[in-house]
Amino acid sequence: MAVRGLRAGLGAARPRGMGPGCAAGLRSASEPSDPGPEPAGPATAALYVHWPYCRKHCSYCSFNKYVVPAVDEAAVRACLVREAQTLLRLGHVRSVTSVFFGGGTPSLAAPRTIAAVLEAAAEVAYLPAGAEVTLEANPGSADPARLSGFRAAGVNRLSLGVQSLDDAELRLLGREHTAAEARAAVEAARQLFPGRTSLDLIFGLPGQSHEAWARGLEAALGLCDDHLALYQLTLERGTALEAQVRRGALPEPPEELLADMYLSARTALAAAGFHQYEVSNFARKGARSTHNLSYWRAEQYVGVGPGAHGRFVPWGEGGRQREARVQTPHPDAWMREVRSCGHGTRRRAALSPLDQLQEVLALGLRTDEGVTQQRWGLFSPRLSLEAAFGAPGEARELQERGWLRLNGRALRCTPAGLPLLDSLLPALLCQLRRRWNAVQEEDGGGRDSR
Ligand code: SF4
């Protein structure tokens, strides 16, 4: 879905540059070169699995999804299983911390497909019994029988794409479900996944008033469990909704209205006991998504399935540096590649230490915990948080304006700064690059001009 914020399951930062494709010489994990010394502790990673099919195109969606007359599910399942095992082995992943089935519409997959991927992961890595296993579900494919099948398969958390509880808004978004179906799906999900059902809502639709959004949010609060994700609609080029707005058939929502909608939603959610733990995510009773937290904490993750993103060190082929990897987007091409060499990695780019620090900063500042000293130190033993952001410069100015806070625990946005994060980041990244290059020059190394 085309939304504000990091969408569950896909890394926010795009890898730079193109690497060789499978046919161009990526080795399969079954034929590793000398991997050299491994990390001190056991390698852990979260696992993201992409199911690329949907029943119809939503009017706002620019995701990697396909609407096809029929899916050869046995073939897709076999490829997901094979690629998961290949990439987990490639990363020498000993323990999978969480699993997320995203899409597309993974609730259209058969529960046995979900079970097969989980079993495959557990064959090559330790998958603790209590690990969070989330499935994204659309209300149109979330009847009680299907949901109990997913629970039996090993899913223990559900993320429901409700988006709106208003039929006219759902039609505008091109969703295939009605508000009544969304309500029924939430009730069924809460029965089967009590305390572990999340709802996605979208605001900022063309023509949506502040009052309509407030009413919709109130209705959702009357229905929801302990986790909500609120996304501001972004009008992505190539989508039907964006074309309608560009032609003038629909109005473009004004920026001030969008900001008001976001701020008033935060207030309403706080009053209902929800804690904002990320730009778009709110939880009460500790019901945070541990899988998504692993992205924002810049931990390793392996992405499996068409178009999936990953971030891990490919020890199995001699890698020493974390890579950004993207799997081949089209399902048919992806399956051909998985069958021929075990995985369908289309693009890969080694992330330099500065690349990684930039991700740590951009992702960490999205959360209430911010970029902790401890995490920063893991990625930057030479340049401390204080040295990077404590001296006079952009970060100091943002602190003085009350948008940023740096203390002995972390660098983080204040509640007033969080909604402004997108506009604060360029200055902070610029300051980081300057400080980083100064340290490199002191050490006699070269500048990183990227
Ligand atoms: S269901 Fe989700 S992935 Fe599929 S078209 Fe709609 S928004 Fe996009």
Q: Domains of the chain: which residue ranges? A: 43-294, 353-442
**Which residue's alpha carbon is nearest to atom 7 within ligand 1?**
1
Find the 61 Cα to ligand 1 centroid distance in Å: 6
User: What value does the mean pLDDT take over residues 441-445?
Assistant: 79
pTM, 2 dp: 0.91
Domains 43-294 and 353-442 agree in fold: no
Find the 344 Cα to ligand 1 centroid distance in Å: 22
Strands 43-51 and 301-304, by their bridges, are parallel
> What atom of ligand 1 comes closest to residue 57's alpha carbon?
5
| pLDDT at residue 33 in the model | 39
- Phi, psi angle pair for 229, to nearest 5°: -120, 125
Read off the pLDDT band of 446 (50, 70, 90): low
pLDDT of 393 over the 80 cut: yes
| pLDDT at residue 441 in the model | 87
User: What value does the mean pLDDT take over residues 224-252?
Assistant: 97
pLDDT of 89 over the 70 cut: yes
- Residues 99, 121 contacting (CB under 8 angstroms): yes
Residues flanking ligand 1, CB < 6 Å? 1, 54, 57-58, 61, 63, 65, 103-105, 138, 161
Read off the pLDDT band of 412 (50, 70, 90): very high
- Residues 203, 232 contacting (CB under 8 angstroms): yes
Percentage of the residues of the chain whose pLDDT score is greater than 90: 88
Query: CB-hemisphere CA count at 13 Å for 183?
Result: 12
Is residue 212 classed exposed, middle or buried when 0-12, 13-18 and 19+ CB atoms within 10 A define those classes? middle
Secondary structure of the chain in the HEC alphabet? CCECCCCCCCCCCCCCCCCCCCCCCCCCCCCCCCCCCCCCCCEEEEEEEEECECCCCCCCCCCCCECCCCCCHHHHHHHHHHHHHHHHHHCCEEEEEEEEEEECCHHHCCHHHHHHHHHHHHHHCECCCCCEEEEEECHHHCCHHHHHHHHHHCCCEEEEEEECCCHHHHHHCCCCCCHHHHHHHHHHHHHHCCCCEEEEEEECCCCCCHHHHHHHHHHHHCCCCCEEEEEEECCCCCCHHHHHHHHCCCCCCCHHHHHHHHHHHHHHHHHCCCEEEECCEEECCCCCCHHHHHHHCCCCEEEECCCCEEEECCHHHCCCCCEEEEECCCHHHHHHHHHHHCCCEEEEEECCHHHHHHHHHHHHCCECCCEEHHHHHHHCCCCCHHHHHCCCCHHHHHHHCCCEEECCCEEEECCCCHHHHHHHHHHHHHHHHHHHHHHHHHCCCCCCCC
**Which residue's alpha carbon is nearest to atom 3 within ligand 1?**
104
| pLDDT at residue 157 in the model | 98
Percentage of the residues of the chain whose pLDDT score is greater than 70: 89
Find the 57 Cα to ligand 1 centroid distance in Å: 6
pLDDT of 10 over the 60 cut: no
User: What value does the mean pLDDT take over residues 238-263?
Assistant: 97
| pLDDT at residue 91 in the model | 97
> What atom of ligand 1 comes closest to residue 174's alpha carbon?
6
Q: Best substitution site from 55, 62, 65, 201 to test ligand 1's pocket, by max atoms within 8 Å of Cβ? A: 65
Find the 227 Cα to ligand 1 centroid distance in Å: 20
Rounded distance between C-alpha atoms, residue 263 and residue 113, angstroms: 40
Listed in sequence order, the residues at least 6 apart from 63 whose beta carbon sits closer than 8 Å to its beta carbon are 1, 2, 7, 103, 104
Find the 63 Cα to ligand 1 centroid distance in Å: 7
> What atom of ligand 1 comes closest to residue 136's alpha carbon?
2
Q: To which residue do tokens 């992330």 refer?
A: 351
What residue type is 142 in one-letter code?
Answer: A
- Residues 365, 408 contacting (CB under 8 angstroms): no
pLDDT of 38 over the 90 cut: no
β-pair partners for 406: 411
Find the 54 Cα to ligand 1 centroid distance in Å: 6
Find the 398 Cα to ligand 1 centroid distance in Å: 37
Rounded distance between C-alpha atoms, residue 150 and residue 74, angstroms: 17
- Phi, psi angle pair for 109, to nearest 5°: -75, 155
| pLDDT at residue 48 in the model | 98
User: What value does the mean pLDDT take over residues 168-188?
Assistant: 98
| CATH 1.10.10.920 for domain 353-442 | yes
pLDDT of 171 over the 60 cut: yes
CATH architecture of 43-294: Alpha-Beta Barrel (3.20)
> What atom of ligand 1 comes closest to residue 2's alpha carbon?
7
> What atom of ligand 1 comes closest to residue 65's alpha carbon?
3
